[in-house]
């Protein structure tokens, strides 16, 4: 898994992943020195999440705080700021 450093990349926007993808979203980042765009896919399509803060998959919100606590316990490292811009970091902050 690749982790993009905030010192090297800036966040551009979110967009829905293509229908052929197994992911829900794509986070678009831009390299600050080369202006090259990088697409980071996250969120497994078809699975529920705690709360979709982006908004395209609100129908999959479950709102179950026990499930959220379990997810966050299993993926505790994903909330770490040093992992910023990884797929897990985006899922942690925008879906869970």
What does the pLDDT average to over 8-20? 96
Question: For residue 89, is pLDDT > 90?
Answer: yes
What does the pLDDT average to over 20-28? 97
Q: Are 7 and 63 in contact (CB under 8 A)?
A: no
State residue 91's pLDDT score.
96
Is 72 in a helix, a strand, or coil? helix
Q: What are the b/e assignments for 46-56, b being 16+ CB within 10 Å?
A: eeebbebebee
Every domain of the chain and the residues it spans: 9-94
Question: For residue 1, is pLDDT > 80?
Answer: no
pLDDT in tens, 47-86: 999 999 999 999 999 999 999 999 999 998 888 888 899 9
The DSSP code for 5 is -
Task: Record the pTM.
Answer: 0.91
Order of strands across the sheet that contains 37-44: 9-16, 23-31, 37-44
State residue 24's pLDDT score.
97
DSSP string, 34-56: T--EEEEEEEETTS-BS--SSST
State residue 82's pLDDT score.
82
């Amino acid at each position: 898994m690749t982790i993009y450093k905030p010192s090297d990349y800036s966040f551009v926007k979110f967009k829905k992943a293509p229908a052929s993808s197994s992911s829900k979203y794509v986070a678009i980042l831009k390299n600050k020195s080369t202006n090259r765009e990088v697409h980071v896919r996250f969120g497994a399509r078809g699975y529920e999440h705690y709360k979709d803060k982006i908004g395209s998959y609100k129908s999959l919100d479950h709102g179950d705080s026990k499930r959220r606590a379990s997810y966050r316990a299993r993926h505790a490292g994903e909330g770490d700021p040093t992992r910023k811009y990884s797929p897990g970091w985006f899922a942690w902050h925008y879906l869970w």
